[in-house]
Amino acid sequence: MDYSGKVAVVTGAASGIGKAIAEALHARGAKIAAVDLNRSGAEAVGEALGGFGAGVDVTDEAALVRFINAAERRLGPIDYYISNAGIGVTDGPGWGAGDAPNAGWQACWDVNVMASVYAARHLARSMASRDGVFVVTASAAGLLNMIGDAPYSATKAAAVAFAESLAITHGDDGLQVHCLCPEGVDTPLVKGIEGGAQGLSGYIDASEVADTLLQAFEDRRFLVTTHPNTPQSVAMKGSEYDRWVGGMRKLRRMLIEANNGRPM
């Protein structure tokens, strides 16, 4: 693919996977607009990559649309939109599936799902008309669950479903959609929970995720996973659901034993 002069918006771009994707796209010639709640981080990444960045709350639809409009005025029509911002909250001290406070559930819903909805509402049709690429960063947790964080698991599963809807609804019009579902990646998001299930297949560098995603662009592959075990686990879940649930319960018991009474 020819990225030269293409315009890419990357959310959650101040660090981790978002920053790595922005760097990978820029290295291939794209113009970068970096978005993050961390204003100084977004500005630093945008400026370092020859574009610009801004502190934007992606759960504020009006603010996000203002940034999208500013990006198109400054850089041109958006060719790549990487909806990457995401958060997790954990189940809290009781570690029950419903124990996380309402505010945590709502925050996960707003960031992990609605931020992509807002961007697609504004961009899907116009990007489709020029064969644009829209990426939803979900998680392997959206495919396989994340023990110890029900809000994250539920909203990342919803993110996967929304990416599917985007691909189904707008694919025939020219929009290329990808759903990125990493397992363990060495980013600020996993600091302090390294003993959780997300790291059982090992942690990889964010730059590896970026390279995998850009290869998926070339291959036009919708579901983008980063660890060899993920597709196998998804297939087993689909074919033997009860066995999978039983296996996850066993894994939870093992994690609790390994982490002094905590599943992560």
Residue 152 is among the residues annotated as catalytic for this protein: yes
Which residues on neighbouring strands pair with residue 8, listed in sequence order?
32, 80
Which token pair is 196? 């959780």
Which token pair is 85? 């911002």
Q: What share of the chain is helix, strand, coil (3-state, %, to 5)?
A: 55, 15, 35
Residue 239, judged by CB atoms within 10 A of its CB (0-12, 13-18, 19+), counts as exposed
Residue 10's nearest CA partner among 82, 113, 115 is: 82
Helix H or strand E segment including 134: strand 133-137
Q: Which contacts of 207-211 are long-range, i.e. CB under 8 A and separated by 24 or more positions? A: 207/20, 207/23, 207/24, 209/17, 209/20, 209/21, 209/180, 209/182, 209/185, 210/17, 210/20, 210/21, 210/23, 210/24, 211/24
Which token pair is 230? 């993920």
114 vs 162: CA distance, rounded Å: 10
Among the listed residues 81, 118, 152, 241, the single catalytic one is 152
191 vs 253: CA distance, rounded Å: 22
Q: Catalytic positions, please?
A: 152
